[in-house]
Amino acid sequence: MVGKQKLIDEILSSAKKTAAAMVEEATAEQTEALAALRKELDAAQAESLARSDKAADDYYSGQVKLGDLEAGKALLHAKQRCVAAVYDGVRDKILRAPDAEYLALLQKLVVEVCEDGDEIIAAKSDAKRVNAAWVKKVSAAAKKKLTLSKVQGDFSGGVILRNPRYDRDLSVDEIVAELKERTVGDTLKALGL
């Protein structure tokens, strides 16, 4: 039995050595695989962080640009309101001018562009100022036949010259709009905008 036991002990010893070698080899492979996986995970994490940082930078940059755009829009809107207030003031000053000044301005404009036979349409608000006597005076100054229309215009002030071919808008709103178109640059400079 001693020989048999010895053989069993040798087989067991050999099996233990083989098993230990296999465990050692598996452990080494596992350690190597874990190291490779750790390396991949670290690289993926670094790439993910870089993408996150870039996305955050892009988002921040986008928000800054958006903020700049919004600030620009707000500034432009404020400038537009300032300019509109100036021209609204001009419009109001014309409309509130004493009759003599107001009618002199309208007369000058009508005389410059009227044609023989034009009909003058006055604003409803100017019915007392722009009357037949005034039209007669303007007609004489222009040396053209002008008539006052029985129709009154639905605009804030001024007149419209009507003839069969076309109308000429000399309403206060149109006068101020043309003035604005010609002078808005100078107005912006004067306002420091």
**In the chain, domain spans:** 1-96, 98-191
**What does the pLDDT read at residue 11?**
67
Cα–Cα distance, 18 to 1 (Å, whole number): 25
Q: List, in order, residues 6 or more apart from 124 with CB less than 8 Å away.
A: 152, 153, 154
The whole-model pTM stands at: 0.60
**What does the pLDDT read at residue 70?**
83
Tell which wins on pLDDT, 53 or 11. 53
The confidence band for 119, taking pLDDT boundaries of 50, 70 and 90, is: very high
Nearest Cα neighbor of 156 from 102, 85, 119 is 102
Choice among 17-31, 40-54, 103-117, 145-159 with the minimum mean pLDDT: 17-31
Cα–Cα distance, 109 to 159 (Å, whole number): 10
Beta-bridged to residue 171, according to DSSP, are 158
**What does the pLDDT read at residue 26?**
62
| 98-191 carries CATH number 3.90.1150.10 | no
β-strand 147-148 against 119-122: which pairing, if any? Answer: parallel
Condensed to tens digits (0 to 9), the pLDDT of residues 145-160 reads 999 999 999 998 999 9
| Contact between residue 135 and residue 120 where contact means Cβ atoms under 8 Å apart | yes
Condensed to tens digits (0 to 9), the pLDDT of residues 6-31 reads 766 666 666 567 656 666 776 777 77
Cα–Cα distance, 81 to 78 (Å, whole number): 5
